[in-house]
Amino acid sequence: MITEFFCRRSFGPLYFISVFLIILFYLHTLNIESFESVIQQLPFWFGDSKAVVSVNDFGAKGDGFRDDTKAFEDAWKVACSLPSGSILEIPAGNVYLVRPINFGGPCQSKVTLLVSGTIVAPEEPDIWNGLDPRKWLYFHGLDHLVVRGGGIINGMGRKWWDRSCKINTTNPCQHAPTAITFHRCNNLDVRNLMIVNSQQMHMAFTNCYRVKVSHLKVVAPADSPNTDGIHISASSHVEVKNSIIQTGDDCISVVSNSSVVQMRNIICGPGHGISIGSLGKFSSYSQVRDILVDGAFLSNTENGLRIKTWQGGSGFVRDVDFRNVLMVNVSNPIIIDQYYCDSMLQCPNQTSSIKLERVSFKQIRGTSATENAMIFACSDNFPCMDIYLSDIQLLYSVGKTNAYCWKAFGISSGLVYPQPCLSPDEH
C-alpha cells in the first residue's frame, strides 16, 4: 500500500524536506545517539559538503590579549589540506590577536575564510623585528580563495604612524606593514569586510589574476600616512565595486604593470582620491592599460581623478576611462602630473617619461576646493595624447575655476567647464 501511495503521488522537494525534518524530530524524541551526527551531515544532504574549521577548535582564545597566531596557523594547515573544500571560521563575538602570519598555498581545494569576528594586530612595531616589515596578514599562491564574513580587521596603526617620516621629518623613512596582502592569487573573491587603521596600506593585490572585491569599508584618519585603501600592482582583470574608503592616502591606487581594472560605485573621502601611479620612479619601466572608473563619489579629498608619473621612467599608460563621477570640495579634481615628486629633495629634470595616451574624462561634476579644477602637466618629450573631455562641470565656491595645460593634446565635446585648454592632436 505504501509503495502504491508513493507511485501514485507526485511530490515536490519541499515535501521531502518536511518528511526528513519530521524523521529527525522523531529520532530526537527517542534520544537516538546519532541525532547530532545526522544534523552535522545536513550540509552534505543539501549540497554543501565543505567542512567547517574553526580557529577556536585549535586553541584560539579570542580575548584580544593572548596571542592566537599559532591557532590560526594550525587551523589554516587543516583547512588548506582538505580535499573537498573548507570554511575556515573566525567566529563572531571574539577578538583575535594575531602576529604577522602567512596563509600559503596551493591548497587541496577551495577555501573560504569566514571572518565574522575581529582580527587585531599587535600594537608595538617592535614585534616585527627580524620579520618582513611590509607584511601582516599575507596570502599567497592561492586559487579560488573567498574571504568574507562581515567581520573587522584592525591594523592598530597609530604607533606606526607616529614613527613615519611624513609625521616626524626627523625620523628615517621606513616600511610599514600592509594589513592584508594577496600575492599571486587567482580567481579571488573578497567581500563584506571592514578594515581599519592599517599600519600602512590596507589591502594590496600583487601579481593577481581575476579578482573581485565588493562591499568593503576601509577607515583610517585623514592624517594617517601612506594608508592607501586598495592598492593594485602587476595584476589583471580586477573589479572593485560598491565600497567605501576613508583614509589618509589614495582611496584606490593602480600601479606598475596592471591591466583591465574596473572600479564601480566607489565612495572616497577623506583621502588622496583615485590614482593611477605613481609610476616610473628610479627610471623604472611600467605599463598600465584598460582602466575604468565608472561611478564614484569623492568628497574632501586632496585630489580627485589622478595620473601621476615620475620623470625618467619609461613605458605607457593608455586606454583609461573616468566617467560618472560626483565631487564635493575636492582639490585638483582632474589632474595628470608627469612631474610627480614625492621626495624631501628636489627631483632632477629628466627627458625620459612614461607616455600617456587615450585618456577620457566624461560626466564629471561637482565642486573644486581650488581654482585649478583641471591640470594636465605633461612631458616635453612625451606629451599626453588623445585626451578626451565631455560633459564636465567643476565649480569653485569663491570664483571661477581654471584649466592648466602643458604639452597636452586632445579634444572636448559638449559642455566642459572650466574652459578646456587642450591643444589639437598632433596627428
- The pLDDT assigned to 220 comes to 98
Q: What pTM was estimated for this model as a whole?
A: 0.88
Cell of 207: 601579481
Distance CA 31, CA 35 (A): 8
Distance CA 36, CA 201 (A): 45
- The pLDDT assigned to 6 comes to 36
Given a contact cutoff of 8 angstroms between Cβ atoms, the answer to whether 218 and 197 are in contact is no
Q: What is the pLDDT along the chain (427 residues), one digit of tens a residue?
A: 434 433 434 444 444 444 444 444 444 444 433 333 333 334 433 445 689 999 999 999 999 999 999 999 999 999 999 999 999 999 999 999 999 999 999 999 999 999 999 999 999 999 999 999 999 999 999 999 999 999 999 999 999 999 999 888 888 889 999 999 999 999 999 999 999 999 999 999 999 999 999 999 999 999 999 999 999 999 999 999 999 999 999 999 999 999 999 999 999 999 999 999 999 999 999 999 999 999 999 999 999 999 999 999 999 999 999 999 999 999 999 999 999 998 878 888 999 999 999 999 999 999 999 999 999 999 999 999 999 999 999 999 888 999 999 999 999 999 999 999 999 976 5
Cell of 155: 591594523
Distance CA 60, CA 88 (A): 13
Of 68, 228, 249, 337, which one is the catalytic site residue? 249
342 as an active site residue: the answer is no
Return left, alpha or beta for 342; rule: phi > 0 is left, psi -120 to 50 is alpha, else beta: beta
- The pLDDT assigned to 345 comes to 80
140 as an active site residue: the answer is no
Q: Which amino acid is at 401?
A: T
- The pLDDT assigned to 218 comes to 98
Given a contact cutoff of 8 angstroms between Cβ atoms, the answer to whether 289 and 305 are in contact is no
Given a contact cutoff of 8 angstroms between Cβ atoms, the answer to whether 145 and 185 are in contact is yes
Given a contact cutoff of 8 angstroms between Cβ atoms, the answer to whether 133 and 172 are in contact is no
- The pLDDT assigned to 427 comes to 55
Q: Is 291 helix (H, G, I), strand (E, B) or coil?
A: strand
- The pLDDT assigned to 49 comes to 63
- The pLDDT assigned to 319 comes to 98
- The pLDDT assigned to 426 comes to 62
- The pLDDT assigned to 172 comes to 87
Of 183, 202, 272, 337, which one is the catalytic site residue? 272
Distance CA 253, CA 288 (A): 12
Cα-only R_g, the chain:
26
- The pLDDT assigned to 155 comes to 98
Q: What is the pLDDT of residues 141-199, one digit of tens each?
A: 999 999 999 999 999 999 999 999 988 888 888 999 999 999 999 999 999 999 999 99
- The pLDDT assigned to 342 comes to 86
The domains located in the chain, with CATH, are 49-249 (2.160.20.10), 258-427 (2.160.20.10)
